[in-house]
Amino acid sequence: MDDRPIGVFDSGLGGLTAVAEIRKILPFENIIYFGDTSRVPYGGRSPEILLKYARQDVGFLRSFDIKAVVVACGTVSTTALPQLKAESDLPILGVVEPACRRAVKMTKSKKVGLIATAASVRSGQYERTIAAIDPTVEVIGAACPLFVPLVENGRYRVGDAVVEQIAEEYLAPLREAGVDTLIMGCTHYPLLTEVVGKIMGEGVELINAGAEAAWELKRTLTATDALANEREGAYKLYASDITGDFAALAGQFLNDTVPAVEGVDIDQY
Amino acid sequence: MDDRPIGVFDSGLGGLTAVAEIRKILPFENIIYFGDTSRVPYGGRSPEILLKYARQDVGFLRSFDIKAVVVACGTVSTTALPQLKAESDLPILGVVEPACRRAVKMTKSKKVGLIATAASVRSGQYERTIAAIDPTVEVIGAACPLFVPLVENGRYRVGDAVVEQIAEEYLAPLREAGVDTLIMGCTHYPLLTEVVGKIMGEGVELINAGAEAAWELKRTLTATDALANEREGAYKLYASDITGDFAALAGQFLNDTVPAVEGVDIDQY
């Protein structure tokens, strides 16, 4: 058993959807979450800047005595994960590989859709990962650069004409390509589940990348006998910028009331 | 006469619309532009973070021997300008005051609209500035948080249903309030001139905050005998992150082919 906390980070608050999944799947674990809200969003930045930011994010989490890191950011998972792993003696889990494994398992048409940020789609990381698992599965990717700003402005509900219109535009090529499984490769996107589901139709399985990472985390901790003892886990939030609407926005992602949040000068890490 | 360059900065590339105006109005001036593309957008961040970033941006520009700074960022102009001015021996010009003076001059209905980022609207700076010039003029503000992401994704043209729908949503209250003058308080917005003009109607004067700042710069340099000698001015671009689509996006804001751009590690300033 190991009661040390798990460190989780994201560019901003989207990764809190992964925290919500971890808390469901691993209710005894303690979690330290860092959201790099002073530099969000990551999705359009270069690989060099993403690696720099990700190293600082891990550096901050490692200022605590943690037992594992979850990269609850699709963009960092696709662009910087190998380097982060190579530099660390702790388990570092991203969202790409668990989501890809699940997608390959689910697809019957052998056509998997991917929606993600521009940087994630550009990286080709999902295609490479799926090809390594099953080279007969085709990946059809779509960059969705407006999804994160929409979600962060509280626009993600069925009935919001703007969101539905943009989602239709992004998703139509995937629907027409006949994908039966869709990886939602950004931790902001679970809030768009209903909108995306409505457009893709009932026959299409939506993969929540954060939830798959939480299951992977459970497998990893179980295999290394590093699960926490069975008492209610605590979680603590840190962020590099705390604006007036922090609690409201964080609450949407957590689907819970938001605990106190503490500021971090991330440049110091 | 003073041939030293003018420093101009913005959160990202939107400030290049102000550079285009400066180059029209002051064609002999040399310009050094810095876009903080590794931390764009600024519009949702806290005043503390905005001041920190603005100080670094000015610090970088001052690593050159410049004669003045133009804050081509509506958000920094509304939240950090007094501090930047107090800390500097150089003239530092923002976009708020020139735009407000112009708006007060133009309005007949004494109702001025303001569209800007959330941080700018929240600051109340436009209201205070206009009240100080003419307290009988009413300001009706609307935060437009999706305009910057839309413009940065190349979505700003008449006929784009998403842009028109969001603009209608943001602008309808201003139109219904009977404003006859509209301050476009963010240097991204000039690209939306046609969309905004179509919704507001022909009777409404649109104020380009960057252009007004360029005229103010001309007055300042003229008053202090600091204009450049009459030969074609040069300009140089710097950015804290250079992604693959930098040149295409910068070209839209500059409305010109983009010169070479050089990377800057902005944390060092």
String of DSSP letters for B190-233: GGGHHHHHHHH-TTSEEEEHHHHHHHHHHHHHHHTT-PPPSS--
Q: Residue A43 belongs to what H/E stretch?
A: none
Catalytic residue (choose from A174, A186, A217, A261): A186
Please indicate, yes or no, whether residues B46 and B30 belong to a single structural domain of this protein: yes
Task: Please check the confidence at residue A214 and state whether its pLDDT lies above 90.
Answer: yes
Please indicate, yes or no, whether residues B133 and B219 belong to a single structural domain of this protein: no
Per residue in B155-189, pLDDT (tens digit) is 999 999 999 999 999 999 999 999 999 999 999 99
Is residue A257 assigned to a domain?
yes
CB A1 within 8 A of CB A228: yes
Task: Please check the confidence at residue A260 and state whether its pLDDT lies above 90.
Answer: no
CB–CB of A45 and B150 under 8 A? Answer: no
Among A46, A152, A243, the residue with its CB nearest the CB of B46 is A243
Q: Which residues of B touch A169 (CB under 8 A)?
A: 162
Report residue A56 as tokens: 């600082």
The sheet that has A181-184: what strands, in order across it?
A138-143, A111-116, A181-184, A205-208
Q: Is residue A186 annotated as a catalytic residue, yes or no?
A: yes
Please indicate, yes or no, whether residues B26 and B155 belong to a single structural domain of this protein: no
Which of B175, B191, B209 is the endpoint of a domain? B209
Closest CA to A151 of A7, A5, A10: A10
Of all residues in chain A, the percent with pLDDT exceeding 70 is: 100
- What is the per-residue pLDDT for B245? 85
Task: In whole angstroms, give the CA distance from residue A262 to residue A240.
Answer: 8
Number of domains composing chain A? 2
What average pLDDT does this structure show over B133-140? 98
Which of B159, B185, B209 is the endpoint of a domain? B209
Task: In whole angstroms, give the CA distance from residue B12 to residue B19.
Answer: 13
Among A38, A165, A169, the residue with its CB nearest the CB of B45 is A38
B220 Cβ partners below 8 Å, 6+ apart? B68, B91, B93, B226
Please indicate, yes or no, whether residues A100 and A34 belong to a single structural domain of this protein: no
Please indicate, yes or no, whether residues A88 and A144 belong to a single structural domain of this protein: no
Please indicate, yes or no, whether residues B113 and B74 belong to a single structural domain of this protein: no
Task: In whole angstroms, give the CA distance from residue B177 to residue B113.
Answer: 9
Please indicate, yes or no, whether residues B175 and B133 belong to a single structural domain of this protein: yes
Is residue B1 assigned to a domain?
no
Closest CA to A15 of A160, A268, A189: A189
Report residue A61 as tokens: 């989490």
How many other C-beta atoms can be found within 10 angstroms of the C-beta atom of residue A139?
A: 20
Q: Which residue of A has its CA nearest to B147?
A: A149
| Average pLDDT of the residues of chain B | 96
Indicate the pairing of strand A261-263 with strand A235-239: parallel
Please indicate, yes or no, whether residues B170 and B110 belong to a single structural domain of this protein: yes
Q: What is the CATH number of the domain that holds B155?
A: 3.40.50.1860
Is residue A1 assigned to a domain?
no
| Average pLDDT of the residues of chain A | 96
Per residue in A57-108, pLDDT (tens digit) is 999 999 999 999 999 999 999 999 999 999 999 999 999 999 999 999 999 9
Per residue in B47-103, pLDDT (tens digit) is 999 999 999 999 999 999 999 999 999 999 999 999 999 999 999 999 999 999 999
Give the helix ranges, DSSP H, for A124-241. Answer: 125-133, 147-152, 161-177, 193-200, 209-223
Cα→Cα distances B74→B121, B166, B211, Å: 10, 20, 12
Task: In whole angstroms, give the CA distance from residue B190 to residue A175.
Answer: 36
- What is the per-residue pLDDT for A55? 98
Task: In whole angstroms, give the CA distance from residue A41 to residue A117.
Answer: 10
Assign B260 a pLDDT band (cuts: 50, 70, 90). Answer: confident
- What is the per-residue pLDDT for A268? 94
Q: Which residues of B touch A44 (CB under 8 A)?
A: 152, 243
Is residue A174 assigned to a domain?
yes
Per residue in B37-62, pLDDT (tens digit) is 999 999 989 999 999 999 999 999 99
Per residue in A130-182, pLDDT (tens digit) is 999 999 999 999 999 999 999 988 999 999 999 999 999 999 999 999 999 99
Q: Is residue B186 annotated as a catalytic residue, yes or no?
A: yes
Is residue A177 assigned to a domain?
yes
Is residue B103 assigned to a domain?
yes
Please indicate, yes or no, whether residues A100 and A205 belong to a single structural domain of this protein: yes
Q: Which of B13, B36, B39 to mutate to test the interface with A (most CBs of A within 10 A)?
A: B39
Q: Indicate the angle between helix axes A16-25 and A246-254, nearest 10 degrees.
A: 40
CB–CB of B45 and A267 under 8 A? Answer: no
Instruction: Count Cα atoms within 13 angstroms, Cβ side, for A184.
Output: 28
What average pLDDT does this structure show over B228-251? 93
Task: In whole angstroms, give the CA distance from residue A139 to residue A113.
Answer: 6
- What is the per-residue pLDDT for A130? 98
Cis peptide before B41 (omega within 30 of 0): yes
- Enclosing domain of residue A190: 96-209
Per residue in B110-123, pLDDT (tens digit) is 999 999 999 999 99
Q: Kindly tell me the burial class for residue A234, based on how many C-beta atoms sit within 10 Å of its own C-beta (0-12, 13-18, 19 or more).
A: exposed
Is residue A34 assigned to a domain?
yes
CB B181 within 8 A of CB B203: no
- What is the per-residue pLDDT for B178? 96
Q: Which residues of A touch B (CB under 8 A)?
A: 38-39, 44-46, 48-49, 122, 145-146, 149-150, 152-153, 155, 161-162, 165-166, 169, 240-244, 267
* 3 state DSSP class of A119: helix
CB–CB of A165 and B166 under 8 A? Answer: no
Which of A209, A237, A258 is the endpoint of a domain? A209
Please indicate, yes or no, whether residues A230 and A250 belong to a single structural domain of this protein: yes
Please indicate, yes or no, whether residues A121 and A192 belong to a single structural domain of this protein: yes
Q: Which residues of B touch A45 (CB under 8 A)?
A: 37-38, 241, 243
Please indicate, yes or no, whether residues A216 and A88 belong to a single structural domain of this protein: yes
What average pLDDT does this structure show over A23-29? 97
- What is the per-residue pLDDT for B259? 85
Assign A259 a pLDDT band (cuts: 50, 70, 90). Answer: confident
Is residue B175 assigned to a domain?
yes
Task: Please check the confidence at residue A244 and state whether its pLDDT lies above 90.
Answer: no
- What is the per-residue pLDDT for B244? 85
Task: Please check the confidence at residue A41 and state whether its pLDDT lies above 90.
Answer: yes
* 3 state DSSP class of A34: strand
